[in-house]
Amino acid sequence: MTMDEQNKNIDETWKETIAKENETLKNQGDFIPPEPDFGFFVTTIALQASISLGVVANPATGKTEESLPQAKFVIDTLAVLKEKTKNNLTKEESELLENVLYELRVQYIAKTQKGGIQK
């Protein structure tokens, strides 16, 4: 069996396993996670930046925590993602990423201009 055939077999097995798990969760009335897509991925990373900026409470602790170096790292990571996916996104995906980066950068600048970088 070639590597491509093995990968295809694993991919199909993965899909079947997830479908069965989701059906079980549905039958039990449990939470079924959404289908992952690029927009969900970007907004999940953006949420991490918002938590680090102190804009959103940390869902694990319920507390507002600010770590500007961490926020900068996450924002820079999204910028790398933008650069590496250039010309490979739909118009909507590209606009989402651009808008998220703009909003996070504005929030970061506002925080750093208030009183210098903290923590």
| pLDDT score, position 110 | 94
Per-residue pLDDT tens listing for the chain (119 residues) = 787 777 777 888 888 888 888 888 888 888 877 888 999 999 999 999 999 999 999 999 999 999 999 999 999 999 999 999 999 999 999 999 999 999 999 999 999 997 655 44
Distance CA 97, CA 92 (A): 9
| pLDDT score, position 5 | 73
Q: Which of 67, 101, 55, 109 is nearest to 81 (CA)?
A: 101
Give the amino acid at 47: L
**Domain locations in the chain as residue ranges:** 1-33, 35-115
Is 70:54 a contact under the CB 8 Å cutoff?
Answer: no
| pLDDT score, position 1 | 72
| pLDDT score, position 18 | 85
Beta-bridge mates of residue 53? 66
3-state secondary structure of 18: helix
3-state secondary structure of 109: helix
Q: pTM for the complete prediction?
A: 0.75
